[in-house]
Structure 1
Amino acid sequence: MRPRVGRLVTATTSAAAAAGVSSALGRLSRTRPGGSRWQRTNHAGASVTLVEGPIATAAAVAGLLVAAVADRQPDARRTTAAVLAITGAGAVGCYDDLFGTTQAKGFGGHLRALRRGVITSGMIKIAGIGAAALAAAMVDRPQTGSPAARGIDVLVNTALTAGTANLINLFDLRPGRAAKVLVTAALLTPGAAPIAGAAAGVLPADLAGRSMLGDCGANALGAGLGIAAGRLPRPLRLLALSGVVGLTLASEKVSFTRVIENNRMLAALDQLGRPLPATTPSDDPAGDGPTGTGDDD
């Protein structure tokens, strides 16, 4: 089998496995949606479950393991790094979902709270995602080049993984929005097929407003996307990191929802697949969701 065909087969198989796992677990969760701690009120005032996050995280890991088995020359370092990043980001995201508070909003808000000596749950999550991203970057660090170049690559990959995990969370404010972004970006990123599959598997329930990714799912799949992007050539990685940083900084001042609603094409894509039009007010300038499960961190 030619290498290109082999990679295509591996990507397709891993994406299908991840989609199948997330879809199956999603159907199971309808009968067991979790206790009250897992329930949130979304932008439309409806009750949704956050179990989609752990489901998406488990599905992404399953897809990665299938990819490792299907690949004729599996890369153990790459798989280990991806699992570290996804599970680490998912774990601290789950902590923030279940036990987090809303005393600070946005990255800047958490930093201001820290300067006052207040350690917010969001800051704990940020530190945890950063640690998981660094551990993953160290495991999958380049094996060639000068020590300085390898060190720079580790720092760039750490920032890219952590930044992407946070950025995806900023889109989790309307049904299906974050999952659509994940599927689109993952399909364009080599090695991210399991992320695309995991997001696609939970997309129907997310669009229907029955569940949401929350911090757990958005951070986990975002970290997985960032890890995959970490294998791109350095110029592309730096370009991707610039985009992630730029959008994150913009989110502190501009509402993504307002931008989307004011653009006809973006609004149509955002609404695609939802049963009813969204008629709620736009988010505040910092883009903070009313439930604290969107871009509050």
Structure 2
Amino acid sequence: MKIILFNVVMLFFIDCYAQIPEIVRQQCYPDPLVNSNYQTIAQTENGYILGVGINNGNNASNYHGSADIWIIVTDSSFNTIWERCYGGSDTDNPNEIVKITESEYYIFGSTSSTDGDVQSGNNGFNDIWVVKINIQGDIIWENTYGCPGYDEIRDFILTPDGGFVMIDRIGSAGGDVSQYYGNGDVWMCKCDSLGNIEWEKTLGNQGVDNCVSMIVNVAGNIMMIGTVQQHGGMVDCYPHPGGGDVWIVELDLEGNIVSQYCYGGSHYEFGYSIIEIENGYIFMGETYSNDGDVSGLHGSPGEGSDIWVVRLNEQFGIIWQKCIGG
């Protein structure tokens, strides 16, 4: 019988030299055929809350069929306090568990179901599914979001009002999506603490547009990073011809665009993550170029890629950039 193995690892560093991580504690759980692409963990006041996607109901309570979200709440020693499945008779998978308070949590995931715990309907194909639960596992509310085409939730942030902003890659208009430019767009949605949509916005144009992650900066604005292919639509920066550029969009919490920037060369670049530091930002992505904003690529442009790390000032100008690879 397979098992799920969760390791709690503490890393100890002396000066700048990293030692081998020490396993402090580990716990095995009977495996009801886990989908390894969907696993998440968050800390509770007295332990942990674990979430995995499962493909059968062995050893799991309240299994609905096909693929469900399996939630396990444990104490600090990883002993199970309670466990149960969330979902319907079709495919349901978790993306992340986010702590709101000590007693309430959001489960961000996806669903193709229209029954069981999924009572909010379905816009078509595969929707974003957000479930708010208490620490006892009771559903406070649940809601689906998206369009009749595909929806791929990418990231989310909590907002001061107890709600959240999430970004999604969409394949059509309709449902909750008011606009679609074509070839895959970025959809951003702000919801209140009850899951009601306060505003939604499509980012992109008729090229291929993608999003990966976002943060909130010290000014209280949303910083989204992804990839854009061309100028036009709502894209007012100019990607380098020949591929796609790293795309950074800054928006306020009302969904208004504050600024946006493109970085790259004549081949493809992909933006993955961004952090704010003193006097600016650092973003990490991937590049196939060795021109434009990029220098130092290892290998032939257009054929192999490097990790691309870029330091920006507060005005989003490049201070330095570095290609990491071989």
TM category (shorter chain) comes to under 0.3
Structure 1-normalised TM-score? 0.25
- Identify, as 1 or 2, the structure richer in strand: 2
Q: Which has the higher helix share?
A: 1
**TM-score, normalising length from structure 2?**
0.23
Relative contact order, CA 8 A, sep 6+: which one is greater?
1
When Rg is computed on C-alpha atoms for both structures, the one with the higher figure is 2
